Structure 1
Amino acid sequence: MKRLGLWFVLLVLGQTVQADIIETQITLPDNLGTGVMYLNDKQKNPSAGVIVIHEWWGLNDYARARARMLAKQGYAALAIDMYGTGKVATHPKDAKAFMEAAMADPEKMNQRFQAARTLMLKQQQVDPARLYAIGYCFGGGVVLHQARRGTDLAGVASFHGSLGTEQPAKAGEVKARVLVATGQADPMVPAEQVSGFVSEMTAAGVDLQLLSFPGVKHSFTNPGADAVAERFDMPVGYDAHADQASWEALMDFLAATPE
């Protein structure tokens, strides 16, 4: 707690401590929005830092839980509200509207991401050479976009995120390693999109690791997906094996020594 002034350079809205995990509400500059920082108080030496981007539902408890899990592993994690307004949906119609509104202003989304990146690089617990970004669903597409545009990151990881783009990666411009986990039974990320993505990454010379799970649907990492499927008749579903396997792959991804 004595290191608070050294760790945080933006406005602190509130702080709680649970089992060595320090949770701090932050606000980004220029009215770009808010987020939640999770730090492990036992982590004394610089390690990997991870920016976490939420599903289309918004910065809800699931996104925060993933960031907290990363902090428990000894990583600094910053979950950012990519909608910038604190909106959280519980109905797919609202989630779609929030997502489409955000995507209609890609420069604003980029500003939010870059503000989060700047904040992370100023944390004592973060090794600047080991800054990552991960995303789920909508967030997966966000972090892949950052990789494509050449943002200086050690790596990005997308979980059941969209792989298509109108601005494909160019050879020599992608700095980040890329990890993608997708379900073969996901109609939102069909096989032709996956194969097109692999071709795109190969042509651009990207260091890509692809996990493709047979019979697995969209949102397979989210335990709440089954309830969503039942309530709204959506083609989503939790898969414990795919969740665990993709999480273990992420742990290996983050632990790798940068070249």
Structure 2
Amino acid sequence: MRMFLALVLLAVSGLTQAAIKTQEIPYQSTDGTKMIGYYAYDDAIKGPRPGVVVVHEFWGLNDYAKRRARDLAGLGYSALAIDMYGGGKNTEHPKDAMAFMQEALKDSAVASARFQAGLDVLKQQPQTDPNKLAAIGYCFGGGVVLNAARQGLPLKGVVSFHGALATNTPATPGSVKAKILVEHGAKDSMITPDNVAAFKSEMDKAGADYKFVSLADAKHGFTNPDADRLGHGDHGGPDIGYNKAADERSWADMKAFFKKIFS
């Protein structure tokens, strides 16, 4: 009996030693912006595995974006939450967030360079298979990953969660190499029906392989449990809100999507 208990304790100890490892990685974009990425992986997995870039909401590289990197690591991916604003900036005040976002997007070439810099850092990690890369993004970040797909970056796929759909540089026939999954809230007041129609038309004309999922009763920000707090009260934020069912459904869709594109 004692021997049995000892073996059980040894086995449990071995399991608890495996953990999600995280670290901050400083890097720099070609525009000179110094950035801080948040990297996560499961050290129980040996060898390279698919890599996923996580692009934050317009609030910046906050705890939510980092949590999603850890979630992806828990699924067996090499995940890097990248920094699109520089210096790891983040805020809970909409006016500041809007200023950060507008600065990052004022030059599309700079925005693309910042995404590429993060992607390059992910590829350089020994846990990453550089031939199996994807990106996910939330809100502002959803628009960033869709633009990466429009530009034909070497990604197997991208997933946009309550992301911006409009663009100043539409996809052209044959330009989209990545498969696309869009998880959209049916009650998202920040994305108009015309935006949705224009996006679908753009993707159809470009011949893109995409899936557009409209989630009932979901507002903008539906994946973030902090959305209700950030969208009301003293913050005076936009019309956003968390929706547990939509959050879980969209994450399940993403998992199935990744299983398919990485197989």
Instruction: Confirm whether residue 200 of structure 1 aligns to residue 199 of structure 2.
Output: no
Bigger fraction of residues in helix: 2
> For residue 245 of structure 2, what is the aligned residue in structure 1?
241
CA pair 185-105 structure 1, distance change in 2 beyond 3 A: same
TM-score w.r.t. the length of structure 1 is: 0.89
- Pair 1:24-2:23 in alignment: yes
Task: Assess, with a 3 A threshold, how the Cα gap between structure 1 residues 183 and 31 changes in structure 2: closer, same or farther.
Answer: closer
- 2:108 aligned residue: 106
Q: CA deviation at 1:257?
A: 4.2
Q: Which runs of 5+ in 1 are unaligned?
A: 1-16
Q: CA RMSD in A?
A: 1.8
For structure 2, list consecutive stretches of 5 or more residues without a partner in the other structure: 1-15
**Is the deviation greater in 40-49 or in 246-255?**
40-49
Question: Partner of 2:142: helix, strand, or coil?
Answer: helix
Deviation at 1:234, TM superposition (A): 3.0
Contact 2:166 2:199 in 1 (8 A): yes
Alignment of 1:1-259 (within 5 A): 20-29=19-28, 30-231=32-233, 232=236, 234-258=238-262
Q: Deviations over 1:69-93 (max 9, x none)?
A: 0001110000011001222111111
For these two proteins, the number of residue pairs brought into alignment is 243
Distance 1:153 1:257, change over 3 A: closer
Q: Is the 8 A contact 1:58 1:88 kept in 2?
A: yes
Deviation at 1:143, TM superposition (A): 0.6
Q: TM-score, normalised by structure 2?
A: 0.88
CA contact (8 A) 1:226 1:236 kept: yes
For the residue of structure 2 that corresponds to 1:256, the secondary structure is helix
CA distance in 2, matches of 1:196, 1:160: 16
Structure 2 letter corresponding to 1:140: G
Report how far residue 104 of structure 1 moved: 1.2
Cα distance in 1 between the residues matched to 2:146 and 2:240: 21
Q: How far has the Cα of 1:18 moved from its partner? A: 9.0
Percent identity among equivalent residues? 47
Post-superposition Cα deviations, 1:219-247, rounded to whole Å, max 9, x if no partner, equal 00000111122212631110011100000
Q: Is the 8 A contact 1:129 1:258 kept in 2?
A: no
SS in 2 for 1:107: helix
Structure number with larger C-alpha Rg: 2
Q: Secondary structure at the match of 1:66?
A: helix
